[in-house]
Amino acid sequence: MQTTKITASRRLDVQGLRALAVLVVVLFHAGLPVPGGFIGVDIFFVISGFVITQLLVREREMNGRVDLRRFYLRRYKRLTPALGLMVAVVMLVMIPLGSPLGQQGLAAETGIGALLLVANFVIASSTGGYFDLRAETNPLLNTWSLSVEEQFYIVFPILLIGALSIAKRRGRMPVVVIALVTVLSLGATLLTSRGYEFDGPLQYLVGFYGPLARAWEFGIGALLVFIPRRAVSRFVSEGSAWLGITMVLASLWIITPSTPGPGVRNLIPVLGTALVIWSGQRPTLVGRLLSHPGPVALGDVSYSWYLWHWPVIVITVSVFPDVPLLPVIAALASLIPSYLSYRWVENPLRYRSIDTRGGWGRLITVSTGVPILLSMSVLVLNAQSFWSPAVVSARASTDPHVDSVRGCAIDVPLDEIPWDECTWNTEASGVPIYLFGDSNAGQFSDTVLQVAKETGRPVTVLAANGCPFMDVRDFGEPDSNTCAEYVSTVLQEMTERPRGTVLIASSALPWTPAEFADKGTFETGDPGPDPDYLASVLSASVVALQSEGHDVGLLQILPHFSRDPYVYDPAGCGLIDTVTGSCNIRMPRGFADQMQADMIYVYRSAAESAGVPLLDLRGQICPQQVCSTLEGERFRYRDGGHISVEEGLALTPFFEEFLEED
């Protein structure tokens, strides 16, 4: 096997590639129009495979062996102190500014995972998908790729050393071993991207965050070291460099968050990066551009910038959510702690010799022990709700309603309706209560159950998520038919159920425009329902129930805090806001009434048409014409569109009076 003697000088063009990799990641996280910017991690993985393999092979050539202990200690000294500093700072900032409703615990768990080199597994199990909404609140989400890289550093040197040892007898063994791992990893990745699901632990190993799903990217970088370095023409080098950089840049738009991955399209940036590195064996224009002092300087600080940019963006945006272009400003501002970390932590330690156990002990204690201790402290404080009644109340406000707990917040299309499982107080002899509608009906399930217990009445709750209780079909969207199936199935079943009191509530129709202002057509050109039509459909459902001997009552829609500038998310409130009562949105009732005017009209008109009572509690939520999400220490809403369990129970007297009148 022919290999080129590797010199100790660093490749400036590779540093420029590092700069490109971190830049596109930051641009993506800053919300700029670079949809595939997250492929920067693919570039990093290829570079790491190349650089680490080069380092190990060089040491083997120079010394006849590889000192694994020295290698691991150097990797630790190179990566962990800067990581530990960032995690420690994030934990300290999370205490006052982080949300106690999930974000603090999420960050603390991820911080511990990052320092124990398993952040990718922690994130996969606790945060979910990389593009999920929950991921946007985790300030340490970016550490997943660092853990994958460190896992590679642990396993790959052992594999390579074994292959190099065998290579004394079989010279091509390193290439064969690396190629085999690369092919197997790529095969598993392509299977996953095509929809094949692995069971058990494999689902964490093969997936977006999985090391087995990324090993092929390291492998391709590693194989570059063993490609014979024969002289190639300038034309071939230039062509390879330009083709490679074009592939990398094109992948920023070819690959998007909606692209299944990592998958076959990830071959584009990976092979493109490999071509750029390979062509750098001789001077090219691309290489000179990447070797410019600007890209090289950014490449030098790329690790620190990668560490700091995401937590700075997440924390800044959570504190000032409505500032235009704030993610971009935060991304640029993160260069300040990045440079300070690079200048005073990362770079000095990289070249500092530590020869004693005491020195290593102190470094490990400060770099790993302290941030883990801080992370564990945040977990403990968060678990105890900081001994704050306000935090306890805020946490309780996000508890699911009893219909969700019992599995009665059903999804469509229907498999079956769980009538028996969704009936409470079955031993009671009073007139049954039935609650139907969407999740805005389900939000009253605790209230109705409380009334049923106090008055000795059985109660059945069936709330179909996203489905109002209206038999409307064929309005341009398939969900209209699945929701109609829910309504027709319930109406049919109610012909056989004991006569009782039926309560109906809903929010808005998911398959129509947010408001019915146009009262005309969908973008598809199909005719859209107007409020009068919807009122007639709701009235028809009411009449159908009445014809079977049931009494019916309608529940008017409550104000929603889901339209700018009155958007409420309790998980977006930091500890200080929660404790001081600042986690409160106050909205003029007129604004809510205007936004929900059509649905308010639909329920009022249907009640008048069918001659049934309408319970309108907007005055209770909005005393003196001002709606608020907080009443004293009671958090009224669990999110922008649903009241909390505690608020629902506070409304019990109004339901008792309403049901007595009915």
Local confidence band at 521 (pLDDT 50, 70, 90 cut-offs) = very low
Q: Are 408 and 369 part of one and the same domain?
A: no
Q: Distance between CA atoms of 464 and 467, rounded to whole angstroms?
A: 5
* Backbone φ and ψ of 142, nearest 5°: -65, -15
pLDDT score of 293 = 96
- The vertex-106 CA angle with 101 and 108, nearest 5°, equals 115
Q: How high is the pLDDT of residue 3?
A: 37
Q: Are residues 539 and 594 in the same domain?
A: yes
Tell me what pLDDT residue 168 has: 64
Model confidence band, residue 64 (pLDDT cutoffs 50, 70, 90): confident
Confidence of residue 507 (pLDDT cuts 50, 70, 90): confident
| 192 and 299 together in one domain | yes
**For the residues 494-512, what does the mean pLDDT come to?**
81
Residue partners of 218: CB distance under 8 A and separation at least 6: 45, 46, 48, 49, 152, 156
Q: Which residue has the higher pLDDT, 5 or 40?
A: 40
Contacts (Cβ under 8 Å, ≥6 apart) of 378? 91, 94, 95, 98, 104, 105, 107, 108
* Residue 11 · residue 115 · CB < 8 Å: no
Of 378, 413, 447, which residue is a domain's last?
A: 378
Instruction: Give the span between the Cα atoms of 168 and 181, in whole angstroms.
Output: 21
Cis peptide bond prior to 96, omega within 30° of 0: no
What SS3 state is found at 231?
Answer: coil
Overall average pLDDT of the 453-477 stretch = 80
Residue 528 pLDDT exceeds 90: no
pTM of the entire structure? Answer: 0.87
Residue type, 564: D
Same-domain status, 62 and 176: yes
> Is residue 467 a contact partner of residue 414, using CB atoms and an 8 Å limit?
no
Residue 324 has a pLDDT of 86
Model pLDDT, residue 479:
46
Claim to verify: residue 586 and residue 632 sit in the same structural domain: yes
Which is more confidently placed, 474 or 309?
Answer: 309
Question: With bands split at pLDDT 50, 70 and 90, how would you rate the model's confidence at 662?
Answer: low
Range from 437-446, 528-537, 621-630 carrying the lowest mean pLDDT: 528-537
In a domain, 6, yes or no: no
In-domain check, residue 123:
yes
Q: What integer pLDDT is reported at residue 169 of this predicted model?
A: 58
Q: 516 by DSSP, 3-state: which?
A: coil
In a domain, 31, yes or no: yes
- pLDDT for the residue numbered 526: 43
| Residue 392: Cβ within 10 Å count | 15
> Once rounded to an integer, what is the mean pLDDT over residues 133-153?
95
Q: For residue 353, what pLDDT is reported?
A: 87
Least confident of 39-48, 126-135, 158-167, 290-299: 158-167
* Same domain membership, residue 409 and residue 344: no
**In the numeric block, which tokens belong to residue 470?**
């209206």
Q: From the DSSP assignment, how many helices (H) and strands (E) are in the chain?
A: 31, 15
Mean pLDDT of the chain: 89
Tell me the average pLDDT across 390-397: 94
pLDDT value of position 9: 58
Residue 514 in this model has a pLDDT that exceeds 50: no
Which residue, 347, 378, 409, sits at the end of a domain?
378
The predicted pLDDT at position 469 comes to 85
The CATH number assigned to the domain holding 617 equals 3.40.50.1110
Its domain, for residue 571, covers: 396-661
Max Cα-Cα span within the chain:
94
Give the number of domains in the chain: 2
Q: What is the per-residue DSSP string for 536-550? A: HHHHHHHHHHHHTT-
Positive or negative: CA dihedral 230, 236, 238, 239 = negative
Q: Is position 389 within any domain?
A: no
pLDDT classification of 166: cutoffs 50, 70, 90: confident
> Is residue 481 one of the residues assigned to a domain?
yes
Residues 366 and 414 in one domain: no
- Run of H or E including 158: helix 143-166
Kindly state whether residue 1 falls inside one of the protein's structural domains.
no
User: In the predicted model, is pLDDT for residue 2 greater than 90?
Assistant: no
Q: How much of the chain exceeds pLDDT 90, in percent?
A: 71
CA distance 308 to 86: 7
Q: 192-217, pLDDT tens digit by residue? A: 888 777 777 777 788 899 999 999 99
Residue 185's pLDDT is 94
Tell me, yes or no, whether 516 and 563 share the same domain.
yes
500, exposed or middle or buried, with CB in 10 Å at 0-12, 13-18, 19+? buried
**Tokens, residue 463:** 């709330």
- For residue range 7-34, list pLDDT tens digits in order: 445 799 999 999 999 999 999 999 999 9
Q: Name the DSSP class of 129.
A: -
Both 122 and 217 in one domain: the answer is yes
Tokens representing 2? 């022919």
Kindly provide the residue ranges of all beta strands, DSSP E only, lying in 407-497, ordered along the sequence.
409-410, 423-424, 433-437, 459-464
Domain co-membership, 193 together with 229? yes
Residues 474 and 618 in one domain: yes
| Domain edge (last residue) among 350, 378, 406 | 378
> What is the predicted pLDDT for the residue at 510?
43
C-alpha separations of 444 from 470, 506, 619 in Å? 19, 11, 17
pLDDT band at 660 (very low <50, low <70, confident <90, very high): confident
Q: Is residue 315 part of a domain?
A: yes
Question: Average pLDDT, stretch 523-544?
Answer: 75
Sorted by sequence, the CB contacts under 8 Å of residue 551 that are 6+ apart come out as: 500, 501, 502, 612, 662
Domain match, 409 and 369 both = no
Assess if residue 572 is contained within a domain.
yes
The per-residue pLDDT for 525 is 38
Average pLDDT over residues 317-337: 93
